[in-house]
Structures are given as structure tokens and as C-alpha cells.
Amino acid sequence: MLLSLEKCTVATGPTRGRWPSGVEMERFADEADVVIVGGGPAGLAAAIRLKQLANKHEKELRVCLVEKASQIGAHTLSGACLEPSALTELIPDWKERGAPLNTPVTEDVFSILTEKHRIPVPILPGLPMQNHGNYIIRMGNLVHWLGEQAEELGVELYPGYAAAEVLFHEDGSVKGIATNDVGIAKDGSPKDVFERGMELHAKVTLFGEGCHGHLAKQLYKKFNLRENCEPQTYAIGLKEVWMIDEKKWRPGRVEHSVGWPLDRNTYGGSFLYHLNEGEPLVALGFVVGLDYTNPYLSPFREFQRWKHHPFVAPTLEGGQRIAYGARALNEGGFQSIPKLTFPGGLLIGCSPGFMNVPKIKGTHTAMKSGMLAAEAIFPKVTAENLDSETAGLHIPEYAENLKNSWVWKELYAVRNIRPSFHNYFGLYGGMIYTGIFYWILRGKEPWTFKHCGTDASQLKPAKECTPIEYPKPDGKISFDLLSSVALSGTNHEGDQPPHLTLKDDSIPVAKNLAIYDGPEQRFCPAGVYEYVPVETGDGMRLQINAQNCVHCKTCDIKDPSQNINWVVPEGGGGPAYNGL
């Protein structure tokens, strides 16, 4: 192992001036051929494909993957109805190998909900939300299984270690990553157990951090990757898993709804899937587009009150909630795909964002992007005498191959559906557009709608909006926020600098609270943000309960002042999702 003296880059925040001399600041460095940041479907698919190619061509290839969750799959959350296309391309014998795809979709139901009633909507073949041939899965279990396949092939997996910093060669190309320093106290000073993170150098680094990755955020700026695309737009997805009464259990049944409790101008809807894995489990959840305008809206409370709808509550009555979690997801689609490659690295999966929004599926495209990345990288990293302009390899072939693949065609075809909601009729305008233009033209219309700008800029001032009266949770079907957060199993080492950093400490009270009535109190699905009275005198202050964070990234996306900057906490911290 090499030793490397690098500047100490601690999480941003009030830390300088407390660093005593005599603290060991050197970092160990190690070399791999390829380093992958993120152990989700994209990262693991890339790792597996790289090793498959290495074994086939009998070449040595060191592939290292770092993942901030304590175990592979612990930060994974998704609906999910998986389209198995990419998985079958990657591992054709996935069934014999025991991949956890146990629930083929048998029933597919789509509804528009009103406060008391339900309008069924027929799912005509060809509409994106049709799920024939797909599987209801617990994504965390699939990711865990992919991790086992990767390890068998010789990928070095390092869960519990977060990539905190991108490293650069002198020529500006990406050199690799460094994991975070550990043992820093809340005030920023080093504790006795302080140790610097480690550097992993690679010829190419793949960034697969999932939706709104924090390193990707830095890379967009550094390499200007977003100059020719629309800003990404997002939604927040909240999910619960319930053990229900066996009499209500209909394995293989998929239910989606739009409408109540959201108004026609707020994008979002629900899902409820009946799993078939031996126990009467259902996975259910609610998605709210983060371009909502009312700062009084609380996605968590919309989710809780939706469960009381006469069409939903009977399924849950007599059941027991056993899991909860939340995560932001991409809604920008085709228009928001950035430049994908830069010297020394490339972006895969939901990080750049390949989600098919009307299908609400992004896993098959994420995996395919990982596989295409591997296929483009392999010849270059194993070449004997490669002529490269930069120290870190540039692999533009990845982006070209992606453009020629089914991923591009699929995303292009549905590109106008989500933006079509931005019209006076909101939801209904969007559905009419989908029915006419998508079903008939399959996205061949020559125009491409634009999005409306960033999600953060959509909030209206509080005084222009009406507070929403949410019902109290009843403790049987709906629940309060803190007991939900406890179910996510989330935890962080208490004595560390909060990883939800503020660029300017005065803005939360001066702007977020004053103009928008503190929307972060409502959009955070984990109760991280609270405005509390100051101890002495008048006024409020923002209290950040960083330990509750479930790493959903919503605050970084939706903060109207864009003042909150999510950085990665000590590796291993965060939720402990089990098969979500």
C-alpha cells in the first residue's frame, strides 16, 4: 500500500481551528483497475459484468466497490415491480441461482381516487403502466443477492465504507475516491479514535450513488456535465411493508392510484403490491412530485391519510406494519440526462437518472447502464498499451452505446408524459395526453416538452397558500412520524458533525421560516428538521436531528434556498432496511 499525503477534507461545517498538531494526517492509498461507488443495482450490475468479461477473456481485473450502508441492500428502497429484461441479459440463469423474483404479477389495477370513491381506469395493452411479465420484488433482497453473485465472481465489496471525496490527478482527471475520515467529534475536533479515510485509486471510477448522489453533485459542477440538459426533477417515495390478515391477501396483485388525497396540480400517486413469499406481506407506498407548490404539504402525512381511503383501508385492517422508509426518485427522464462521461470516470444508474417515469421503473435501465459501462470500460482497462490523453481514462464509448440501446429508445418514447402534467387541468390533462399521444403515437410526436425549472424553485410563499388540515394518526392504520422513523432502523454515531450541512446558518430562520414557514419540517420523512424556540429570548432556530436521517436526499433537492448540502456521514450509518 502506498502512503499519500492529502489535504484533510472533513465534512463541511464549523470545524477549523480545532485541529491540534500531531494528528496523523496521511492516508493509505491502494490501486484497483476499476472502483465503483454505490452498491445498488447499477453498481453491482457493472461489477458483475466486468468480472464476467474478465473471466471470459482470462484477464486479471481488480474491481472494488464501496457502499455506505453497513450491508449491501440496507439502503435500498423501491416499490417494486421489476421488469426482468436487464437481469436476464446479465445473468440468464437467475432463476436457477435463486434470485428472489418470487411473485409474478397476476392482477393489475389502476384507479383514480376521490375522497370516498374510486374510478377504475382500464390498463390497455401498450400503456406504460401495464405490468404483464413483471415481478413484484423486495428490491433490497435482489440487491443483496446481486452482491452475493458479485462476490462469487471476485468483486471486492466493502459495505460500511462511504466514498466521501473524489480524487483528481494533476491533469484534472478523476483519480479515484477517498472514504470518509472517522472519529471526528460533533464540534469538528478529532477524537482519540480518529483515523483518516483511505484512498482507492483506479483507472476508471464509476459513480452509481442513486438518485441525487452527493459526489455526482460535485462532478456536475467540476466537469460542467449539465450544461446541455434540463435540471433534474424529482419525487419523494415513502414506503411501508405490512403483514396483513391472510383473508385479505391476494398474491401477485398490483394496485396503483392517482388523485386523492393530492389535488389535480400535485403530481403523485400510490402503489400497493401483494408479495408471494410465503407470508401475507404487502408493500405499499406513496409518491409525491417534488415540484409541489404548497409549503404546507407534507408527503408523509399525505401517505398516512391515503391509507384510510375506503379502497385501501380494508386491506390493512387487522394487519401489522413491519417496515418504513423513504427515498427521492428521478422524474426528469430523457430531458434531464446529463453528459455521462468525463476523464477518469462515468455516471451510471439513477444518479444521472434513467427512470421511466410513467412506468415508475428505473431498475432495469439502471442495470443496463451499468452493464454498458462495464462493456465499454473493459477493453480499455485491460489494453496492454493504451494511449490516453489523461491519467484517468475517458470512456465516451459508454455514452454512445447507451444512446444506441433500448434504454434510450424507451426513455425517448415516454419523455413527454410527465411534463404533460404542467397544464391547467393538471392530472387530467396529463392522463388525456398520455391516452392520446402515447398510446397512439408511442412518443413519436416531434416535440419535446420542457420541465418547469428546478423543484426547489417551485414553492410558493406560505402567505399565498392554505395550510392543509391533516387527520391525526389513529395508531392502527396511520402513524406518527417518530414511530415510523424508529421502524427504519436508522442510526448514526451520535458524536460526529451533522452531515446535513448549511452553507449559511442564518438562512433557515431568515428565509425558509419567514417566507415558506419552514417546509423542511414537513418534507423530511424522518423528522430531521425542527424549528424550536431559542433557549433565551425570542425567536426560533433550526434544530437538525441528523441521527434520524434516512438518506433520502429530499432536503438537498427541495430546500427553496438550496442552503442544505447533504454530505455523507460515517460509513455504516443510516437506515437498516430489510428487503425494502
Residues that bind another protein (CB under 8 A): 1, 28, 30, 66, 70-71, 73-74, 140-141, 144, 156, 158, 161, 179, 182-183, 191-193, 195, 197-198, 243, 279, 322, 486-487, 489-491, 576, 578-579
**Nearest distance from C-beta of residue 479 to another protein, angstroms:** 13
Helix (H) or strand (E) holding 345: strand 345-347
Active-site residue, 118 included: no
- For residues 127 and 487, which CB has a smaller minimum distance to another protein in the complex? 487
- For residues 97 and 117, which CB has a smaller minimum distance to another protein in the complex? 97
CB 323 within 8 A of CB 577: yes
Which residue in the list 205, 522, 524, 554 is annotated as catalytic?
A: 524
CB 365 within 8 A of CB 82: no
Which residue in the list 76, 78, 266, 369 is annotated as catalytic?
A: 78
- For residues 318 and 467, which CB has a smaller minimum distance to another protein in the complex? 318
For 274, the 3-state DSSP assignment is: strand
- Distance, first Cα to last Cα, the chain: 37
- Pairing relationship of beta strands 253-259 and 81-82 according to DSSP bridges: unpaired
- For residues 343 and 574, which CB has a smaller minimum distance to another protein in the complex? 574
Active-site residue, 15 included: no
- For residues 38 and 73, which CB has a smaller minimum distance to another protein in the complex? 73
The string of DSSP codes covering 147-190 is HHHHHHTT-EEEET--EEEEEE-TTS-EEEEEEPPEEE-TTS-E
Tell me whether the omega of the peptide bond preceding residue 310 falls within 30 degrees of 0, making it cis: no
Active-site residue, 211 included: no
**Nearest distance from C-beta of residue 535 to another protein, angstroms:** 29
Active-site residue, 465 included: no
Tell me whether the omega of the peptide bond preceding residue 80 falls within 30 degrees of 0, making it cis: yes
- For residues 343 and 525, which CB has a smaller minimum distance to another protein in the complex? 525
State the DSSP code for 361: B
**Nearest distance from C-beta of residue 486 to another protein, angstroms:** 6
- Pairing relationship of beta strands 118-121 and 345-347 according to DSSP bridges: unpaired
- For residues 178 and 395, which CB has a smaller minimum distance to another protein in the complex? 178
The Cα–Cα gap between 25 and 324 comes to: 40
Residue with cell 387530467: 428
Nearest to 261 by CA among 312, 313, 306, 298: 306
Which residue in the list 327, 415, 418, 522 is annotated as catalytic?
A: 327
**Nearest distance from C-beta of residue 33 to another protein, angstroms:** 16
**Nearest distance from C-beta of residue 261 to another protein, angstroms:** 27
**Nearest distance from C-beta of residue 28 to another protein, angstroms:** 4
CB 179 within 8 A of CB 161: yes
Q: Which amino acid is at 490?
A: T
Nearest to 74 by CA among 31, 122, 40: 40
Cα 477–482–486 angle (5° rounding)? 90
Q: What is the CA radius of gyration of the chain?
A: 23
**Nearest distance from C-beta of residue 487 to another protein, angstroms:** 5
Q: Which residues sit opposite 236 in a β-bridge? A: 288, 328
**Nearest distance from C-beta of residue 351 to another protein, angstroms:** 22
- For residues 119 and 486, which CB has a smaller minimum distance to another protein in the complex? 486
For 514-550, give the secondary structure using H, E and C.
HHHCCCHHHHCCCCCEEEEECCCCCCEEEEECHHHCC
Q: Hey, what's the cell of 97?
A: 441461482
For 8-51, give the secondary structure using H, E and C.
CCCCCCCCCCCCCCCCCCEEEEEECCEEEECCCHHHHHHHHHHH
Which residue in the list 257, 341, 363, 478 is annotated as catalytic?
A: 363
- For residues 76 and 341, which CB has a smaller minimum distance to another protein in the complex? 76
- Pairing relationship of beta strands 135-136 and 103-104 according to DSSP bridges: antiparallel
**Nearest distance from C-beta of residue 578 to another protein, angstroms:** 4
Which residue in the list 305, 454, 549, 554 is annotated as catalytic?
A: 549
Which residue in the list 369, 522, 552, 554 is annotated as catalytic?
A: 552
CA-based torsion, 178, 182, 187, 188: positive or negative: negative
Active-site residue, 524 included: yes
**Nearest distance from C-beta of residue 190 to another protein, angstroms:** 12
Active-site residue, 555 included: yes
Q: What is the largest CA-CA distance in the chain?
A: 71
Residue 360's region, left for phi above 0, alpha for psi from -120 to 50, else beta, is left
- For residues 182 and 417, which CB has a smaller minimum distance to another protein in the complex? 182
Active-site residue, 452 included: no
- For residues 491 and 521, which CB has a smaller minimum distance to another protein in the complex? 491
**Nearest distance from C-beta of residue 89 to another protein, angstroms:** 27
CA-based torsion, 29, 69, 564, 420: positive or negative: positive
By annotation, the residues acting in catalysis are 78, 327, 363, 524, 549, 552, 555
